[in-house]
Copies of this chain bind each other. A is one copy, B any other.
């Protein structure tokens, strides 16, 4: 094989993979599917695109091996495909967070307006006697994996279930990732009700990356 042919086909193949990341809707889908499996319609609804469009993006992602699917009756459930797919998405995300002013500014502004300007990181987490870890994602996502010690109250049920939360602890909320707004909503609601609340920057996925030995394929 010619050197030039070799390099061209290698780099073209990798560029094809990168192109799968090169669309806003697909990134949002990927972020969603990293937290658990979803049907095409769920994906479409939650990312605010049409079903046909979601289907097409999902197939492109599947061809790129970034997601996988399983059929259950009429429904087809899609999930992220393995650790490396998430690692690559995370590396891209962190690059953007570190170096892309547009991302930094938008995130800071949104969090500020949402009344959740500060956030904690996992290594600066207070002990169990000082804080309670609250997972505000939908229950199925919590069930498919969560941070150790976290309690689950989906954001939609939180207003009715405030009574379940201790008032002498700091409530530390988390959700799907840095661009998920559930945790911000939760902080806002909790603060409005007199709780001490703050958003956690990390999510279950970051924990899974280091601790889930089964996430190999």
Residues of chain A touching chain B, judged by Cβ–Cβ distance below 8 Å, are 1, 3-4, 6-15, 17-19, 21-28, 48, 65, 81-82, 84-85, 87-88, 90-96, 98-100, 102-103, 106-107, 109-110, 113, 179, 181
With contact pairs A84-B95, A85-B95, A91-B91 given, residues A15 and B7 touching in the complex (Cβ less than 8 Å): no
A interface: dominant SS: helix
Q: Write out the residue numbers on chain B whose beta carbons fall within 8 Å of the beta carbon of A99.
A: 65, 81-82, 84-85
Q: Write out the residue numbers on chain B whose beta carbons fall within 8 Å of the beta carbon of A88.
A: 88, 91-92, 94-95
**Complex partner residue of A18 from B9, B18, B85, CB under 8 angstroms:** B18
Whether A27 lies near B22 (C-beta < 8 A) is no
**Complex partner residue of A6 from B25, B65, B91, B106, CB under 8 angstroms:** B106
